[in-house]
A = this chain, B = another copy of it.
Amino acid sequence: MALFNMKAVLLCSGLARRMDGQVKPLIKVGGREILYRSMRLLEKHGIQEFTVVVNKRNREEIERFLRDNGFKFEIVVNDAPERGNGYSLYLAKEKVSGKFVLAMGDHVFGEEFVRKAVRGTGLICDRNPRFIDPDEATKVKVDEGRVAEIGKKLEDFDCFDTGFFILDESIFDSAEKLVMEAETVELSDVVRKAKPQVTFVDGELWMDVDTPKDVRKAEEALFRESGKGRGDGFVSRHFNRKISTRVSMALAGKVEPNHATLLSFVSGVLSTVLLLFSIPLAGVLYQLSSILDGVDGEIARVTMNTSRIGGVIDSILDRIVDFLFLSILAVLTLSTKVEFFVAFLAVFGTIMVSYISERYKGEFSEGFYGRFSVFIPGKRDERIFIIMLFCLLYPALGTFYLFLSLAVLTNLRIFEMLFRLIKSEMYISGIDIS
């Protein structure tokens, strides 16, 4: 993933910006220090070396934090932090060359924000900020792709300063001139002088954290982001994730991801046992376990504590629960051979939908759904929701229709997936079947 050979400068010399007596960059959001979060995200994109500008008061604490977490860093101490963060940037002059990242040490940046921002140039701006107070934020007027004006009080502006930059050493010329002329030099003064290019990264997570309320807001945003784009189906996107992210928020810090996996598995197994007593209730518990199924991954991602083996184990346990629920329900409620054959088809289709996408990923190291669109629904969240609905209607509506629906849906989906593979193979082999 080492796309760049860039260093990063992190500004942590802000004065009097303490909340509950804590050094701001070291405030924990979602179980991790703000600085830890930014640095690990930058590392993910190939930025391995950091220059951290601190002040005399927070130096010791920040240095200990950096050392304890094994980051590769250099410390620059700003002895006169009252001279502004433009002056702090200037002090990093000797530490970087070529292109480098500059980021505010007390801003929370989301995964997607950083992924996009490191590919940008100049000042990263947001035309559609979702997590900040526009009155408090720094506005930017853009002209021909460059900063025309910048400030908190701008009336006419195009976007907001995210506190994240991709700069090169030429920025220090502007900073140096200002430092020679004025006692206080803010970063916006440097930007106003240098007029760097602007890159838009709109609507992603970035925010300043000033109050405990901000912490809460940032955590909420992180959890919401953690549930996005995980290959969810319709039900998960519009229903399950809205609940699971709230549960995750409540459990984060108290429960390990692996324990959340276990919790979801146990509730799934309990739902299969509950089938023996009440099919409608079992259906509801099964749907609940499907919601809980999102929690482990969400907590893991927000606390930056993901485990790939944990993910594999979670998938296998999902398949086991799905199988147990369907086969026990079939044995309890079906009787004829035709009915059982349909149930076999439903069980087969249920596992195969996952099998195909995994087999593909194992071969190509990219997701099946990244390459092919599949129209017929049948993902786990969708299947379980359908199962719950049928269970609630039981015994008014027999479960045979549930198995029939699942058998048709999942096997049609399998054939669609297979068809797309065969078509692409024929395309590769040069046979035109379109």
Contact = CB atoms under 8 A, between A and B. Distances in A.
Interface stretch (A59-67, A271-279, A303-311): A303-311
Contact of A331 (B337, B363, B417): B337
A134 to B, nearest CB: 42
A119 interface: no
- Give the contact-size bracket for chain A: 35 or more
B355 A313 contact: no
Interface in A360-390: 360-365
Contact of A319 (B337, B355, B365): B355
A316 B368 CA distance: 14
Nearest to A431: B258
A313 B421 CA distance: 7
A348 B327 contact: yes
Nearest to A341: B331
Interface string A413-434: 0100110011011001100000
B354 A313 contact: no
A243 interface: no
A428 B309 contact: yes
A96 interface: no
A342 to B, nearest CB: 10
A363 B308 contact: yes
A359 B316 contact: yes
Contact of A362 (B344, B362, B428): B362
Contact of A340 (B330, B338, B354): B330
A345 B327 contact: yes
B364 A361 contact: no
A170 interface: no
A328 B342 CA distance: 11
A422 B358 contact: no
Interface string A252-268: 00000010000000000
A351 B358 contact: no
Contact of A327 (B341, B362, B365): B341
A400 to B, nearest CB: 14
A323 interface: yes
A70 to B, nearest CB: 16
Contacts of A354: 355, 359
A355 B358 contact: yes
Interface in A277-322: 307-313, 315-316, 319-320
21 contacts: A307-B429, A308-B363, A310-B425, A312-B356, A312-B363, A312-B421, A313-B421, A315-B359, A316-B417, A316-B421, A323-B344, A328-B341, A330-B344, A344-B344, A347-B348, A355-B355, A358-B358, A358-B359, A358-B361, A360-B362, A362-B362
Interface of A: 258, 307-313, 315-316, 319-320, 323, 327-328, 330-331, 337-338, 340-341, 343-345, 347-348, 351-352, 354-356, 358-365, 414, 417-418, 421-422, 424-425, 428-429
